[in-house]
Amino acid sequence: MATVMNHKEIILNCTRVNHQYMRLPAGKVPGLKVMAALYKRIASQSLDCAQAWVQDSPCPNHEPAVDAFWWGAVAWSDAFGCSMGVDMAEWSRLFVYPHDQFANYLRPGNPPPPLEEVHESPANVILTLDARWTELVIKLTAQWGFFHHLKDKDAMLEAQRLQGELRTPGSPTYKAFLESDLAFFHHLFKNFPFSEQTEKYINAWLKRAEEAL
Within 13 Å and on the Cβ side, how many CA atoms surround 210?
Answer: 11
Distance CA 84, CA 136 (A): 20
The residue among 29, 26, 72 whose CA lies nearest residue 165 is: 29
Nearest-approach distance from CB 63 to Zn ion, in angstroms: 9
Which of 60, 113 has the CB closer to Zn ion? 60
Kindly compute the dihedral angle of the four CA atoms of residues 116, 149, 110, 122, in this order, to the nearest 10 degrees: 20
Which of 5, 59 has the CB closer to Zn ion? 59
Which of 69, 95 has the CB closer to Zn ion? 69
Nearest-approach distance from CB 170 to Zn ion, in angstroms: 39
Nearest-approach distance from CB 25 to Zn ion, in angstroms: 27
Distance CA 100, CA 70 (A): 8
Nearest-approach distance from CB 60 to Zn ion, in angstroms: 4
Residues forming contacts to Zn ion in the complex (CB under 5 A) are 49, 59-60, 62
Which of 49, 79 has the CB closer to Zn ion? 49
Nearest-approach distance from CB 111 to Zn ion, in angstroms: 18
Nearest-approach distance from CB 48 to Zn ion, in angstroms: 7
Neighbours of 89 (CB within 10 A): 8
Residues 6+ apart with CB under 8 A from 159: 35, 134, 135, 137, 138
Which of 16, 28 has the CB closer to Zn ion? 16
The residue among 94, 131, 123, 118 whose CA lies nearest residue 205 is: 123
Which of 62, 99 has the CB closer to Zn ion? 62
| Burial degree of 3 (CB within 10 A; 0-12, 13-18, 19+) | exposed
